[in-house]
Amino acid sequence: MEVVDSVIKDIHDQENYRFPEFTDTSAISNFRKAHPEACVVAETYGVQDISFTQLWEMSRFMLVMIYHPEILRDYITSAAGIG
């Protein structure tokens, strides 16, 4: 899978990004109601995948590791639910 238009485009996006409430499954329920014939597949990525494949373009993520490690630390702590 390739990131086409990442949610986080620069360090300012990163500083302001907040993870959505992961217990809210209403979007899936609403889709199922609207499309009862459809097969719905949901995938849950691990903490190691979110940063690389879903929210950031890889080279930008790597640059943040070099130039803004404290912001990246806070981001990963939040993603892991340990912050």
Secondary structure (DSSP) of 3-37: -SS-S--SHHHHHH-----TT--HHHHHHHHH-TT
Continuous segment of H or E residues that includes residue 77: helix 69-80
Q: How much is the average pLDDT of 72-80?
A: 80
pLDDT tens column, 10-62: 888 888 888 777 788 888 889 889 999 988 776 666 655 665 567 777 788 88
Counted residue by residue, the chain has a size of 83
> Rounded to two decimals, what is the model's pTM?
0.46
Q: Where are the domains of the chain?
A: 7-16+43-83
